[in-house]
């Protein structure tokens, strides 16, 4: 068996754990690598021994064949690891440091990075602004559902945990810092969630549950989570959320039963482009459903955060428009109600350290909220299958058994 192994997308519905080359301080050619990035020197990078790496709903979009991801792509953008080697240009990290890695890859040098918009770095992806590990059209940086991974611009990107032992004791919480906790938090912040506010979270998957926990952390008076999966709705109720089963009819009527009025101050779309209809149409895919629904449910003058993924290429779209990301959105309704909308990748680094401190000082139990389940790296294909069936869990891959040792 090779020293390095990882999870590879083989085609719609299929992933496999395979032997991989060990990372080097250069970006090699491979599936999804933009030709302009081939041979790119990464003297500013570190090689991590991956401590934990998570299966994300965004990965599932690719595995379902709902993006233009090429076969052979190494998956995974949620990475926590230990520095085992560093490039000659790395100054502030050392071998042995334990770090969290934002899923956004950012150079720290361009205009957007300097303005804290690290989700749309201008220098790391020749295709478009913004980059991520192991993701379609994101420059071809190798994913982190592996035993070892390369992290570029490491002094800028990696967040060092201040105490290794304390971090390992909370590793299931801290592994959520790479994506879903900041992403859910960003959805709430951009929706204006604050003390005393009411908020509707569309979607009770891991990002939705992370958003719900974030809304509680921000002081919301009422956090209502909508979904059609009973297990996931039960998970939301387990940490104090109200819930709405969208398969049972108009969410507004159900919200009115909770709040006395059929509207909220803020809404978060944690579903994205594979949304399904509400009520009798809940079995049918209707990609604009959530966006249109949250505009109806959010009060005039309110705000909507949209961390749910929307893509520019969807081979499995319900119609020709949806296949290029063109949806029938009631923008006139949003305009008439003076809604504010925030879309796009979460700039993880904007929230990274603060959320780490909230975890370390027991202000939030994010692993409990999302029902984190550690599994061996070799069990990743089963984890993908279970997650795709709607399991109310966040699967955490444990490539070296370090999570099991710390939590068992």
d(CA 357, CA 213) in angstroms, rounded, equals 15
Q: What is the model's pTM?
A: 0.96
Residue 283: pLDDT band by 50, 70, 90 thresholds? confident
With 90 as the cut, is the pLDDT of residue 289 above it? yes
Whether 275 and 323 map to the same domain: the answer is: yes
d(CA 284, CA 78) in angstroms, rounded, equals 30
Whole-number pLDDT of residue 90: 98
Whole-number pLDDT of residue 1: 58
Q: Which of 312, 343, 374 is the last residue of a domain?
A: 343
Query: Distances from the Cα of 307 to the Cαs of 95, 245, 334, 396, in angstroms?
Result: 34, 21, 17, 21
Structural domain of 265: 180-343
Whether 253 and 125 map to the same domain: the answer is: no
3-state DSSP assignment of residue 352: helix
CATH of residue 263: 3.40.50.720
| Top-confidence residue, 119 or 279 | 119
Computed over every residue of the chain, the mean pLDDT equals 96
Whether 379 and 270 map to the same domain: the answer is: no
d(CA 75, CA 384) in angstroms, rounded, equals 12
Whether 166 and 188 map to the same domain: the answer is: no
Whether 199 and 336 map to the same domain: the answer is: yes
Q: Which of 343, 360, 380 is the last residue of a domain?
A: 343
With 80 as the cut, is the pLDDT of residue 193 above it? yes
Whether 137 and 225 map to the same domain: the answer is: no
Whether 137 and 189 map to the same domain: the answer is: no
pLDDT tens sequence across 146-180: 999 999 999 999 999 999 999 999 999 999 999 99
Segment 110-118 mean pLDDT: 97
pLDDT tens sequence across 97-106: 999 999 999 9
Whether 64 and 160 map to the same domain: the answer is: yes
3-state DSSP assignment of residue 289: helix
Residue 329 CA, chain-centre distance (Å), reads 23
Whole-number pLDDT of residue 313: 87
Whether 83 and 166 map to the same domain: the answer is: yes
Query: Does residue 188 contact residue 210 with C-beta atoms inside 8 Å?
Result: no
Q: List, as one string, the DSSP characters of 85-135.
A: EE-TT--S--TT-EEEE-SB---S-SHHHHTT-GGG-SSS-SSSS--BTT-
Whether 152 and 200 map to the same domain: the answer is: no
Angle between helices 180-190 and 352-360 (to 10 degrees): 110
CATH of residue 119: 3.90.180.10
Whole-number pLDDT of residue 279: 79
b (16+ CB within 10 A) / e for 198-217: bbbbbbbbbbbbbbbbbbbb
Q: Which of 324, 343, 362 is the last residue of a domain?
A: 343
pLDDT tens sequence across 336-386: 999 999 999 999 999 999 999 999 999 999 999 999 999 999 999 999 999
Count of domains for the chain: 2
Whether 195 and 335 map to the same domain: the answer is: yes
With 70 as the cut, is the pLDDT of residue 62 above it? yes
Whether 122 and 219 map to the same domain: the answer is: no
The token pair that represents 232 in the structure block:
């996931």
Segment 90-102 mean pLDDT: 98
Residue 47, strand partner residues: 85, 150
Residue 249: pLDDT band by 50, 70, 90 thresholds? confident
Query: Distances from the Cα of 40 to the Cαs of 25, 28, 35, 44, 140, in angstroms?
Result: 9, 8, 10, 11, 11
């Amino acid at each position: 068996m090779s020293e390095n192994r990882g999870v590879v997308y083989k085609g719609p519905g299929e992933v496999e754990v395979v032997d991989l080359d060990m990372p080097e301080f250069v970006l090699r050619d491979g599936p999804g690598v933009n030709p302009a990035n081939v041979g790119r020197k990464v003297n500013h990078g570190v090689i991590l021994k991956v401590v934990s790496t998570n299966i994300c709903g965004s990965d599932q979009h690719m595995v379902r064949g709902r993006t233009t991801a090429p076969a052979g792509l190494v998956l995974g953008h949620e990475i926590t690891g230990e520095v085992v080697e560093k490039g000659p240009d790395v100054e502030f990290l050392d071998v042995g440091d334990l770090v969290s890695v934002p899923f956004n890859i950012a150079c720290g040098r361009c205009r957007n990075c300097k303005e804290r918009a690290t989700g749309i770095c201008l220098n790391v992806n020749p295709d478009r602004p913004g980059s991520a590990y192991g993701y379609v059209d994101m420059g071809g940086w190798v994913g982190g559902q592996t035993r070892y991974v390369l992290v570029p611009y490491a002094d800028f990107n990696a967040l060092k945990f201040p105490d290794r032992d304390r971090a390992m004791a909370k590793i299931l919480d801290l592994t959520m810092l790479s994506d879903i906790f900041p992403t859910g938090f960003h959805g709430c912040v951009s929706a204006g969630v604050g003390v005393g506010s009411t908020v509707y979270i569309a979607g009770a998957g891991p990002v939705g549950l992370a958003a719900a926990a974030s809304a509680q952390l921000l002081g919301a008076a009422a956090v209502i989570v909508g979904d059609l999966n009973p297990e996931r709705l039960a998970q939301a109720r387990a940490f104090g959320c109200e819930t709405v089963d969208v398969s049972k009819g108009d969410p507004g009527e159900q919200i009115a039963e909770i709040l006395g009025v059929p509207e909220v101050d803020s809404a978060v779309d944690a579903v994205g482009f594979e949304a399904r209809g509400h009520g009798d149409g809940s079995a049918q895919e209707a990609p604009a459903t959530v966006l249109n629904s949250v505009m109806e449910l959010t009060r005039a003058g309110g705000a909507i955060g949209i961390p749910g993924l929307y893509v520019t290429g969807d081979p499995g779209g319900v119609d020709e428009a949806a296949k290029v990301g063109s949806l029938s959105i009631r923008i006139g309704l949003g305009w008439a109600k003076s809604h504010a909308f925030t879309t796009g990748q979460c700039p993880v680094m904007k929230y990274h350290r603060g959320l780490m401190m909230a975890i370390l000082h027991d202000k939030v139990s994010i692993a409990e909220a999302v029902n984190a389940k550690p599994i061996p790296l070799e069990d990743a294909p089963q984890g993908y299958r279970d997650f795709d069936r709607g399991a109310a869990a966040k699967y955490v891959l444990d490539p070296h058994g370090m999570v099991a040792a710390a939590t068992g």
